[in-house]
A and B are shown apart, each in its own frame.
Chain A
Amino acid sequence: DQQVKQNSPSLSVQEGRISILNCDYTNSMFDYFLWYKKYPAEGPTFLISISSIKDKNEDGRFTVFLNKSAKHLSLHIVPSQPGDSAVYFCAASVAGNNRKLIWGLGTSLAVNP
């Protein structure tokens, strides 16, 4: 079951540059998308989300873009900082109060000083 895919297992960027993490999905019923960040030995921490009625949502250094026709979303972090080094998960859910999350495999981001 590959409804949410993160095709890059890892990404390395220089401090101060932009990090772009990508996510693709196949289920057209998904209408809410989230990015979570995870450090080792910790639980996922919510980062930013976007509803399918929008194509962009911004929160400080983090921006999520949604392209519904391509079933693609991306997370931009700018400028990247060493503390951003973590595993980033894309997750999606179908409308309804339950909102169970379907997860990608994650992308491990390393921001080098």
Chain B
Amino acid sequence: EPEVTQTPSHQVTQMGQEVILRCVPISNHLYFYWYRQILGQKVEFLVSFYNNEISEKSEIFDDQFSVERPDGSNFTLKIRSTKLEDSAMYFCASKGRAMNTEAFFGQGTRLTVV
């Protein structure tokens, strides 16, 4: 069964460092997303990506964040200068063309900023 894969599963980084979280969405999907879940809090939408551009972003997704789909298969989330409050589980998701269809999620990357 096709699946969304994320790497790494766990990343520890120093505050102020840049991190890149990687995702390989399901191959025929067209919509791509990043969500995050801070421990004990809700899953929060960060950004959606369609047709090689951001289609929507939340207020969390400030200019420290960026996304790319560099080669038609990978989908990356970059945090330029990490803060302690960026520590969270980051989930990548992808969705097919149909409007009423579910998004499939990766297993997540646990980001710890120290």
Contacts and interface: CB of A to CB of B under 8 A. Distances in A.
A101 B43 CA distance: 9
B42 A43 contact: no
A44 B100 contact: no
Interface string A12-41: 000000000000000000001010100001
A8 interface: no
A30 to B, nearest CB: 12
Contact of A34 (B91, B102, B106, B108): B102
Given A42-B107, A97-B99, A99-B103, A105 B42 contact: yes
Contacts, number: 58
Contact of B95 (A51, A89, A99): A99
Nearest to B98: A97
Interface residues of B, number: 26
A103 B31 contact: no
B45 to A, nearest CB: 5
Interface residues of A, number: 24
A46 B100 contact: no
B4 interface: yes
Interface in A89-113: 89, 91, 95-105
A81 interface: no
A45 interface: yes
Interface of A: 32, 34, 36, 41-46, 49, 51, 89, 91, 95-105
Sorted from nearest, which 3 A-B pairs have the closest CB atoms?
A43-B105, A103-B43, A46-B102
